Amino acid sequence: MKPHLHFMGIGGVGMSGLARWYAADGYRVSGCDAADSQELSALRDQGIEVYSAHDAKHLANDVDVLVSSMAVPSSAPEIRAAKDKGLSTLRRIELLAQLLQKRRSITVTGTHGKSTTTGMIASLLLAGEQDPSVLVGGLLPCLNSNVRYGQGELLIAEVDESDPGFALLSSDIAVITNLEDDHIAGDFAERRNYHASFAELEQATLAFAQKARQLLYCADWSGLKPLLQKMPQALTYGLSAKAAYRAEILALGASSSRFLFHSPSGKHYPVSLAVPGKHNIQNAVAALAAADLAGIEPAEAAKNLAKFNGVGRRWQRWGSINNALIIDDYAHHPTEIEVTLEAAKNTGRRVRAVLQPHRWVRTARHWPAIADAASLADEVVVLDVYSAGEQAIPGVSANLIVERIKSAGKPASHHDIASAQEYLSSSLKANDLVITLGAGDVWKVARGIVAAHGGDDGSA
């Protein structure tokens, strides 16, 4: 009989995906989180025993292994009880390391684009009937889930670089999309989901890369070359003419794009994408390159990639209201906000951004850059900082961002979710593009606007 795994923090997207995979693999799975949520309800509907509180009593039901996320402190009651009982304890990243040994693995990490790139690889393999297993950090529409348990040899997994333990993971094919100053604690004491310094993040990335049998990294990201170029198993991808796998852009549309995919063989293949932006062309080249290394014919992969229609909360279309378009996106780092708003501006619409700063440490370290990136929009509505469990930092607030945007000559205002929804709903005009930005619950504004107007789901 396979062990009983109990997941602490099971409501997180990474933890819930692992729990679902192991449940499908025949393990007894249970879990808990600090509060109830839609994700916990979904797990219960799938037959997984889930509690909406932390309690040492959860270990009484013949639990063999306690799995916890980085967000769970070592002082949590289940962790203390497990140690007292002599139970095996694993961090999420350690269980993922074990899972990567069960299949031929393709892993994707980086500061930006990892969910979309993982989703693209999964989608083209599914369309090619490869029957892969998939773990992705968001809802993949073709799965209607963040996980897939497949019988094929391939496992495609998104790897979160915020967990320093990712340095321990081994992959058959590893993709590194980029690397930037994020999840860095700097002078702040918070260490959950943080590296102490950028140099520490670089060293963890290097260790992760060294454990890969084959490595792909983005040639367009200058910081990766000095870190990774000496590795004999490394190949590059991107828009650069010097990349081994590269894209020649043919057209950038408001909601799509076309390009030629050039492979190291010298052949090229036309590709159509149903998602906008140069950044998604980079993601697509990474996906096609990984598929080529996995033995998938590039022409077939390129054709199948056309069926990819995004990952949940990545340029997610909520609806249209009298020719106004409502979009939600996970962008929360300055670079992500900038490229997402560039794609939004490319639609030719008036862009009205709803920005929710995410995590106190990130906001404290990057609020000027966040404000400058958000200033690309024609108007910015700023919500309070989404804490993600962190303690507030004195002197840091949404108003810092509002005032800096105003100083750049753009209209900006401070709202909560309810007042943002009311303000935008009452002032919505044809040709507006309202885009909610952030990794917290800012998406509720998009949902609320559409619900208030009875918006449709057709193209605007």
pLDDT of residue 270 exceeding 60: yes
If you count DSSP H runs as helices and E runs as strands, how many of each does the chain have, helices first? 14, 21
| Structural domain count of the chain | 3
pLDDT at site 456: 56
pLDDT at 458: 39
State what percent of residues in the chain have pLDDT above 70.
Answer: 99
Structural domain containing residue 45: 4-92
Same domain, 62 and 162: no
Lowest mean pLDDT among 62-71, 133-142, 186-195, 383-392: 186-195
> Could you report the per-residue pLDDT of 222-241, keeping only the tens digit for each?
999 999 989 999 999 999 99
Residue 396: which residues within 8 A CB-CB, separation 6 or more?
360, 363, 364, 367, 385
Q: Are residues 158 and 209 in the same domain?
A: yes
Kindly report the CA angle at 41 between 37 and 46, in degrees rounded to 5? Answer: 145
428 and 337 both lie in a single domain = yes
For the segment 88-121, what is each residue's pLDDT rounded down to a tens digit? 999 999 999 999 999 999 999 999 999 999 999 9
Q: Structure tokens of 292?
A: 């080529």
C-beta separation of 353 from 424 below 8 A = no
Q: Determine what percent of the chain is predicted with pLDDT higher than 90.
A: 92
CATH number at residue 437: 3.90.190.20
DSSP letter (8 states) at residue 456: B
Q: What are phi and psi of 167, to 5 degrees?
A: -60, -20
Q: Does 131 share its domain with 18?
A: no
Does residue 112 lie within any of the structural domains? Answer: yes
pLDDT of residue 455: 62
Torsion of CA 56, 60, 65, 67, to 10 degrees: -30
SS3 content of the chain, % helix, strand, coil (to 5): 35, 25, 40
230 in the same domain as 110: yes
Same domain flag for 407 and 276? no
R_g of the chain computed on alpha carbons = 22
**Model confidence, pTM:** 0.94
Closest C-alpha to 247, from 257, 256, 255: 257
Decide which of 280, 305, 330 is a domain's last residue.
305
End-to-end CA distance of the chain: 54
Residue with tokens 């930092």: 393
State pLDDT tens for residues 177-195.
999 999 999 999 888 889 9
Arithmetic mean of pLDDT, 57-67: 91
What pLDDT does 73 receive? 81
Query: Per residue in 87-125, is it b (16+ CB within 10 Å) or e — as a string?
Result: beebbbbebbbebbeebbbbbbbbbbbbbbbbbbbbbbb
Q: Quick one: pLDDT at residue 205? A: 98
Tell whether 138 and 269 lie within a shared domain. Answer: yes
Q: Are residues 73 and 112 in the same domain?
A: no
Same domain, 133 and 278: yes
Which among 250, 271, 305 is the end of a domain?
305
- The predicted-structure confidence for 392-448, as pLDDT tens digits, reads as follows 999 999 999 999 999 999 999 999 999 999 999 999 999 999 999 999 999 999 999
Q: In CATH, what number is assigned to the domain containing residue 237?
A: 3.40.1190.10
